[in-house]
Amino acid sequence: MVRIVLIDDDPISTFVTEKLISKNIKVPYEIFKYDNAINALKEIPRIDPNYLFLDLNMPEMTGWDFLEEYHPTQGNPEVYILSSSVDERDIDKASNYSLVKQYLSKPLVKKYIKTIFN
């Protein structure tokens, strides 16, 4: 079972991402959704995700803060940043995190999902 975590405070973005995944993934999967990074950080160790989609701009704890605090103890999930920011500084900063596989712009599109899951 593939375990996917979505961390985004925007319910529309989460809905779109979830629908794209459900239509384009060919293996059994389970999606865990969080509208804030603090709760996600507490629960992720028991989930042990294969994939993690992370928004950067969230209240209380940003995606950057989450990346500083998150240290997987079991496997290393593929972390994809989902952001509406196209600021080159954000894209460059994301490349400094070894867990981050790719920086993706919102809204997420089918071709990215197909590439990730195929």
Three-state DSSP class for 9?
coil
pTM of the model: 0.94
58-73 pLDDT, tens digit per residue, is 999 999 999 999 999 8
Among residues 64, 53, 58, the alpha carbon closest in space to that of 20 is found at: 53
State which CATH number among 3.40.140.10, 3.40.50.300, 3.40.50.2300, 1.10.10.10 fits the domain covering 2-117: 3.40.50.2300
Report how far residue 8's alpha carbon sits from residue 25's, in angstroms, rounded to the nearest whole number.
20
Three-state DSSP class for 45?
helix
What does R_g of the chain's alpha carbons equal in angstroms? 13
Q: What is the mean pLDDT of residues 4-18?
A: 96
DSSP classification of residue 60: S
Between 38 and 84, the higher pLDDT residue: 38
CB atoms < 10 A from the CB of 17, how many? 26
Report how far residue 93's alpha carbon sits from residue 75's, in angstroms, rounded to the nearest whole number.
23
Domain boundaries, the chain: 2-117
Q: Identify the burial level of 83 via C-beta atoms within 10 angstroms of its C-beta, where 0-12 means exposed, 13-18 middle and 19 or more buried.
A: buried
